[in-house]
Amino acid sequence: MKIKLICCVGLDYDTELIPHFCKHYSKYNIYSFHFILNKLKDFEIKDYLEHFSNLPITLPFIGAKLNFEKWVGEFNAIDKIDKFNHIIKHSNESHILLSDIDEFQQHTKSIKSNYVWGNLLDRESSDSPFKKVTSENIEVQFPITSNKSNWKNTIKPCVFPKSELLKTSHFITTPYKNEPLIDVHHYRWTNTRLQKSKDRYRIYTKLNKDGKRWPNGYKLATNESNNIVHQTKEKGLI
């Protein structure tokens, strides 16, 4: 099986995670990589290539096994999923590995299953609620496993055939049917989490007012981003 990894990177928030992400996924039998790079203001892809040097591909080679897609403007999850589905539909690989930049899937050494589902586990720092990511081993930086996000649904598709399409970030055409789950370490509690939550709440609130909707008619979720900001204020951290 040939696997294409697809990931969207928010360059305004998560640049420091990129080398750790690339190092982690270079361990697996991934055939090609497709990164969507999102930034509010215009940028040059070449200015960010050094962050991807941990990939098992000689940079600045860009082609069949490594692709970068530029996305300038405000991020929203609906447009992200549309972009992912476009990539999936035109993929030459048999399978897709889908991961956010802060998600580190814990596969066995070789990925062979037709479908792989994961369970999100938050990783936290022991010395800061919003730790700045450095070059140190990321597991050492965030040693605590928790459910700080307190999500109702922590299961999401990790690997699946290219015949599938995404409905949302957590659902594909084929529903989850109690298959075994792998751990997905979720490094979301970094020093940019608070600003990302503020921006996400502002952008999603405006888009919802403008009528932006998921195919099932649901609005973009704003509760979690709003809660993170309010809880941080209540704890006197801002």
pLDDT digits (tens, 9 = 90+) for 131-142: 999 999 999 999
Residues 17 and 46 in one domain: yes
Predicted pLDDT of residue 169: 83
Residues 6 or more apart whose Cβ sits within 8 Å of residue 232: 129, 194, 238
> Is 24 in the same domain as 95?
yes
Residues 107-116, mean pLDDT to the nearest whole number: 92
The boundaries of the domain holding residue 215 are: 194-234
Question: Do 144 and 207 sit in the same domain of this protein?
Answer: no
**pLDDT at res. 183:** 96
Q: Let me know whether 77 and 137 are in one domain.
A: yes
Rounded Cα distance between 18 and 59, Å, is 14
Nearest to 91 by CA among 169, 176, 4: 4
CB 5, CB 97: distance < 8 Å: yes
The pLDDT of 167-174, averaged and rounded, is 92
pLDDT at 9 over 90: yes
d(CA 15, CA 40): 14
Residue 154 sits in the same domain as residue 213: no
- pLDDT tens-digit series, residues 79-105: 999 999 999 999 999 999 999 999 999
Q: How many whole angstroms separate alpha carbon 4 and alpha carbon 127? A: 36
Q: Looking at the structure, do residues 207 and 99 belong to the same domain, yes or no? A: no
